[in-house]
Amino acid sequence: MANDAMDERMIELEARVSMFEDLVKVLQDQIVKLGVQPGGSYRTMAEHSRCPACGQRKIFFADHITDRDGGIGEKMSFGRTTWLSRPIAQFQIYACVACGFCEWYAPALSEAVDELCKKHKGFRVIDANDAESTKAPYR
């Protein structure tokens, strides 16, 4: 009698495990479709060519952005060099053609970040690995 009850319980548990395994497969497929990476961050349009907001795959890329059109605009960046006024860490944009969601990049930022922080009081690096850098600046 006890063995029959244990067998029934075992069968029930195996069925539940199988149901959860199927559910995990469905969720894994949905995660892949959404373009979400382990850890919760989404895959960028730059690397994935899929809009994380609407899922469309038609992406517009601009290697520079001007602050005004018509040939008189400056290329947008985090700053400009003292000599010749060239942009420092110029922006690039990937934009979803369907919904307009944008990702801004400054590919040269890592090379210029120290110079920019020295030059501008309002600029700073927030490094999550360094507790001191995550504190708000004094006002």
| Nearest one of 93, 59, 87 to 73, comparing CA atoms | 87
Biggest alpha carbon–alpha carbon distance for the chain: 91
If one asks whether residue 31 binds Zn ion (CB under 5 A), the answer comes out as: no
If one asks whether residue 101 binds Zn ion (CB under 5 A), the answer comes out as: yes
Residue 42 contacts residue 32 (beta carbons within 8 Å) = no
If one asks whether residue 59 binds Zn ion (CB under 5 A), the answer comes out as: no
If one asks whether residue 51 binds Zn ion (CB under 5 A), the answer comes out as: yes
If one asks whether residue 99 binds Zn ion (CB under 5 A), the answer comes out as: yes
Residue 65 contacts residue 75 (beta carbons within 8 Å) = yes
Which of 49/92 has CB closer to Zn ion?
49
Which chain residues interact with Zn ion by CB under 5 A?
A: 51, 53-54, 56, 96, 98-99, 101
